Amino acid sequence: MRRPQRWRALCLLGALTTAALAAPPPAAFDALLALLAQRQHGHVSFTEVHTLAMLKEPLTSSGELFYEAPDHLEKRTLKPSPENLVLEHGELRMQRGHRTRVLELADYPAAAPFVESIRATLAGDRAALERYFDIDFEGDVEHWTLRLRPKDAAVAKSVADITLNGERAVIATVAIRQSDGDHSLITIGPEIGP
């Protein structure tokens, strides 16, 4: 009953968000939001490269991302070892090896910005996005870069910023810079047909 689970949940959320975040900012920002919001579902491949200062080489993993409007998000890592991360109806389920862990987001108020950012972005809700992040938008709808910096001090302690690159409603890369300098880059592949 006294499980040190809270800090684990924060980490999970951080990673989930950064993996699947598709959020945008100013005049062209509204147009982009509208474009993103039209999207009802998605199924893409991804490659993620983690660069950690203490390791000789970066860690590479790959798998698939699923999205179903308005609140189902799934990151399925296939290599090098299977892992499944599902966000649905405010519940986060993580499966690795034979163990499954379930966390209810309502229990972790500090994590709300991440979750709200996903929901808000996918719903085209700019106000909600701005409640949790400082947003820099560069470029135009054709080629855009979105830089999100967490407003919450607890979140900012581990994540410095999240940078998304994309063309129109297609996200190309998501880069997460951690406060200690380690970083990861998720490159999104083309849409996988049904």
Partner 1 sequence: MTVPARTGTVIFLVFALLAGVIAARARYTADLSAFLPRAPSAAQQVLVEQLREGPAARLIIAAIAGGTPATRASVSGALVAALRTNAAFASADNGDAQSVARDRDFLFRHRYVLSAAVTAEHFTVAGLHDAIGASLDALASPEGPLIKPLFAQDPTGELLGILDDLGPGRAPRASGGVWSSRDGSQALIVLQLRAAGSDNDAQRGACEAVRQAFFAARATLPAADRDSLTLTLSGAPVFAVAARTLIEGEVMRLSGLSAFLITLLLLFVYRSLSALVLGLVPVLGGALAGVAAVALGFGTVHGITLGFGVTLIGEAVDYSIYLFVQGGAAAHGLWRRNVWPTIRLGVLTSIVGFAALLPSDFQGLAQLGLYSIAGLSAAALITRFVLPAWIPGGLAIRDLRPPGEQLLRALEPLHRARALLLFVPLIAACVFYVHRGALLSHELAALSPVPLKDQQLDERLRADLGAPQVRFMVVAPANDRDTALLAAERLGERLTPLIDDGTIAGFDSASRYLPPASVQRARLAALPAPGELSARLAQAVAGLPVNAALLAPFITAVGEARAGGVLTRAELQGTSFASVTDALVVRSATGYSALLPVSAASGDLTEAAAARLRAAISAADAHAVLLDLTGETDRLYLSYLRQAIELSLAGFLAIVVLLLLVLRDLERVTRVLAPLALAVLAVAALLVGVGARLTILHLVGMLLIVAVGSNYALFFDRASHDPERGSVPLTLTSLLVANLATVLAFGVLAGSRVPMLADLGSAVAPGAFLALLFAAMLSAPSLRAPRAAAA
Residues that bind partner 1 (CB under 8 A): 1-8, 11-16, 48, 50, 52, 54-61, 77, 80-81, 83, 85, 94, 96, 98-104, 106-109, 158, 178, 182
To partner 1, the closest distance from the beta carbon of 80 in angstroms equals 6
To partner 1, the closest distance from the beta carbon of 5 in angstroms equals 4
To partner 1, the closest distance from the beta carbon of 2 in angstroms equals 5
User: Given the complex with partner 1, which of 27 and 78 has the nearer CB atom?
Assistant: 78
Q: How far is residue 59 CA from its own chain's centroid?
A: 18
Question: Which of 164, 170, 118 shows the shortest CA–CA distance to 142?
Answer: 170
User: Given the complex with partner 1, which of 11 and 34 has the nearer CB atom?
Assistant: 11
User: Given the complex with partner 1, which of 121 and 178 has the nearer CB atom?
Assistant: 178
To partner 1, the closest distance from the beta carbon of 82 in angstroms equals 10
User: Given the complex with partner 1, which of 36 and 87 has the nearer CB atom?
Assistant: 87
What is the H or E stretch that residue 36 is in? helix 27-37
Instruction: For residues 55 and 35, give the distance between their C-alpha atoms in angstroms, rounded to a whole number.
Output: 40
To partner 1, the closest distance from the beta carbon of 77 in angstroms equals 7
User: Given the complex with partner 1, which of 56 and 193 has the nearer CB atom?
Assistant: 56
User: How are strands ordered across the β-sheet holding 159-167?
Assistant: 99-104, 91-96, 83-88, 72-79, 59-68, 41-51, 183-191, 170-178, 159-167, 144-150, 133-139
Answer for the pair 19, 118: CB distance below 8 angstroms, yes or no: no
Residue 145, Ramachandran bin (φ over 0: left; ψ between -120 and 50: alpha; else beta): beta
